[in-house]
Amino acid sequence: MNSDVKKVLISEAEIQQKVKELAERISKDYKGKHLLMICILKGAIMFYSDLARNISIPMAMDFMAVSSYGAGTKTSGEVRILKDLSGPAEGLDILIVEDILDSGNTLNYIENILKDRNPASLKICTLLDKPERREKPIVVDYVGFAIPDEFVIGYGLDYSERYRNLPYIGVLKEEVYASPAE
Ligand code: PRP
């Protein structure tokens, strides 16, 4: 285990099992539809690629990058588009794929933008959900794990751009973000 990690919250095996279950549900629900899975960069990258690998129906991929956190550990509430979709969304069955739903500010913003582009349908899949931190009401259709309000990293999630490559979800030691090293 990485020495900055206090404990493993969700193991690699648990994540992969959940990814398979979600992909199976999504493959059933979107059969015969025009599925466009949108990865919200950067955090969702690991989840998205594992999920896509397990989808058994035709699907298209696209990517969006938004930022709300800056370098800190708390959301600022401000959302900016850093990278937009490369193609149109009109008439497609869009599934937004996120790593974590926290305050809901990011997904609220993305949902509103995409709704205006007239997709056939718009749903959300998130690996992690921190329900107690919600500021904006969000309806999520596919959830991997509801987790407590702890600072989690790994499997795409970062602290100051580190730890995204860990294959599990871990809780970061307080001393790492209390006195960050350069
Ligand atoms: C994280 C995460 C979600 C968002 C969730 O992204 O990937 O997109 O915050 O928080 P919210 O519900 O409070 O809006 P971040 O802005 O840190 O960018 P990243 O994905 O590139 O790490």
pLDDT for residue 10? 98
> Is the previous residue joined to 18 through a cis bond, with omega within 30 degrees of 0?
no
Strands 5-10 and 169-172: antiparallel
Atom index in ligand 1 nearest the CA of residue 133 equals 13
**12-150 fold:** Rossmann fold (3.40.50)
pLDDT for residue 182? 58
Q: What is the mean pLDDT of each run of 10 residues along the chain (182 residues)?
A: 94 98 98 98 97 98 84 64 96 98 94 96 98 94 97 97 98 88 59
Distance 58 CA to ligand 1 centre (A): 28
Place of tokens 């990865």: 39
Q: How far apart are CA 20 and CA 52, in angstroms?
A: 10
Is the sign of the CA dihedral 6, 12, 14, 15 positive or negative?
A: positive
User: Domain boundaries in the chain?
Assistant: 12-150
Helix segments in 65-166, DSSP class H = 105-115
Q: pTM of the prediction?
A: 0.93
pLDDT for residue 9? 98
Q: CB of 160 closer than 6 A to ligand 1? A: no
Q: CB of 6 closer than 6 A to ligand 1? A: no
Q: 77 and 88 in contact (C-beta within 8 Å)?
A: no
